[in-house]
Amino acid sequence: MWIRRIVENRNAVLLVAGQVISKAGDQLANVAFLWLITTLTGSAAALGSVMTALILPNIVFRLIGGVITDRFNQKYIMIVADILRSVMVFLLAILALNGALNMGYFLIIAAMLGVGAALFDPAYRAVVPRIVEKDQLLRFNSTLQSANQGVGILVPAGAGLVIAAIGIPAALGLNGVSFLLSALSILLISSPLLGKRTHQAQSVVTEWKEGFRIVFANPFMRLIFLAIGLINFADALVVIYPVHIKDVLGLGVAWYGFFNAAVMAGLFSTNVFYMWIGKRIRTSDGLLFGALAQGLGLLVFGLFPNPFVGLCAFYLFGVGMAGFGTATVTLLQQEVEQAFLGRVFSLYGIFALSLMPFGYFVAGITANRVGTGAVIVSAGVMMIATAFLLLRSHPIGELRRA
């Protein structure tokens, strides 16, 4: 049975356990981090500056992180990244405890946390096919996402109470501990499965040219990355949905929470479905279904200003997000040669993250002129068009016939 195969895989269990613990710490720290900035500065501009400092190094250093992932032992890259982030979070906790924080420290620490994420994420994505059999990749990725989403639902709900009870510095300290526990779980993974590359390393520039060639010279990879770009840009357009809930639906903050919960429920249920259905579903079909479900959900949400219809639409949107996201990661892990996975997943992250600020900007400007509903419907149309683009494409057709 598939559950037994994953549970009996010691390396897979260690990786999941470490990531779930780290995710729980992150969820708690995110609330503490944002609340600390808000109480310290009282400025939306300051909050935006810190979040930019967190994202930009994550984008820039992925160029290096991908090469490092493909050149060295991915196990130790993840450990170093976790220790770096743990040190930064502990430093933030100490500064907060002593009342010595200022915007300069915030920006530096946020930037270093971004660097840690840029090192960790490509290595983590690339290491999964080394420890999980190819026919179990979809189920493993779904299991991990389901566990993370469960944590994402439960921890934020009680984070405010925990922070009120123990204080912001202690909450940040728990996040630092969670990074160390993640590093420990990765350290216990069997090293032979995570060996270094055997061929001679080339220059960073040359290796990145190889990574770009893998993505952009291959019709299949070009299509996948085009779909990733279109879906992520459309996702970013939906950033204005709280305004739609407030101004068009006439609802308050409690309903805003319900809509977020509907998305999380959709994400969770789809990954649970993937866990059970496993290799009986083609990954390419998950890709198509995810793009289509997201688009239909947004179309309904934008066209029908009814709270209960909107909740159902947002649930469908969450179903599509998980369907597309988990299938995309799994498809890349299945189709890309191991020696290039680090660089490919670095490009994947860069492509997704760099489009988000542009999408946010376009959404804000456009919504003021045509209304939030029109922007949301446009995002839905873009996603449905992406689904039909994938359906009609030759590379996806070959995968579906295989």
* CA pair distance 382, 37, nearest whole angstrom: 35
Can you identify the CATH homologous superfamily of domain 205-401?
Answer: MFS general substrate transporter like domains (1.20.1250.20)
What integer pLDDT is reported at residue 1 of this predicted model? 53
Instruction: Indicate if the pLDDT at residue 43 is higher than 80.
Output: no
DSSP three-state, residue 249: coil
Q: Where in the chain is the domain with CATH 1.20.1250.20?
A: 2-194, 205-401
Which letter does DSSP use for residue 247 in this model?
Answer: I
pLDDT (mean) for 311-330: 92
Please choose, from the candidates 140, 145, 114, the residue with its C-alpha nearest in 3D space to the C-alpha of residue 127.
140
Whether pLDDT at 356 is above 80: no
Residue 199: DSSP 8-state: S
Residue-wise pLDDT for 87-99, tens only, equals: 999 999 999 888 8
pLDDT at 299: 96
215 has a pLDDT exceeding 50: yes
Total H helices, total E strands in the chain? 17, 0
What pLDDT is recorded for position 401? 63
Mean pLDDT of 279-291: 83
Q: Greater confidence, 150 or 45?
A: 150
pLDDT at 7 over 80: no
Averaged pLDDT for residues 159-166: 77
142 Cβ partners below 8 Å, 6+ apart? 271, 272, 273, 274, 275, 326
CA–CA dist 355, 359 (Å, integer): 6
Q: Which of 144, 146, 174, 149 is nearest to 159 (CA)?
A: 174
pLDDT band with cut points at 50, 70 and 90 for residue 290: very high
Contacts of 189 (CB under 8 A, 6+ apart): 11, 14, 15, 75, 131
Mean pLDDT across the stretch 247-270?
A: 83
d(CA 123, CA 217): 23
In this prediction, residue 271 has a pLDDT band, given cuts at 50, 70 and 90, of confident
Q: Residue 203 and residue 66: Cα distance in Å, rounded?
A: 13
The CA angle 311-312-313, to the nearest 5 degrees, is 90
Q: Is the pLDDT of residue 256 over 80?
A: no
Higher pLDDT, 63 or 311: 311
CATH 3.40.1180.10 assigned to 2-194: no
Average pLDDT, the chain: 82
Phi and psi (nearest 5°) for 29? -70, -35
Q: Average pLDDT, stretch 33-55?
A: 67
SS3 content of the chain, % helix, strand, coil (to 5): 90, 0, 10
Tens digits of per-residue pLDDT, 53-82? 777 777 878 878 888 888 888 889 999 999
Q: How many other β-carbons are positioned within 10 Å of the β-carbon of residue 129?
A: 18
Q: What is the pLDDT of residues 364-384, one digit of tens each?
A: 888 888 988 999 999 999 999
What is the distance between the alpha carbons of residues 165 and 161, in angstroms, rounded to a whole number? 6
d(CA 291, CA 269): 16
Whole-number Å distance between alpha carbons of 383 and 250: 27
Q: Are 94 and 38 in contact (CB under 8 A)?
A: no
Angle formed at CA 124 by CA 123 and CA 125, multiple of 5 degrees: 95
- Find the mean pLDDT for residues 235-245: 84
Q: What values do phi and psi take at 215, rounded to 5?
A: -80, -50
Q: Tokens for 190, please give them.
A: 């069997």
Q: Are 369 and 301 in contact (CB under 8 A)?
A: no
Q: What is the pLDDT of residue 195?
A: 46
pLDDT in tens, 176-207: 999 999 999 999 987 654 544 544 556 767 77
Q: Of 9-13, 27-31, 141-145, 332-336, which range is least confident? A: 27-31
Of residues 39 and 250, which shows the higher confidence score? 250
Tokens of 381: 């149309």
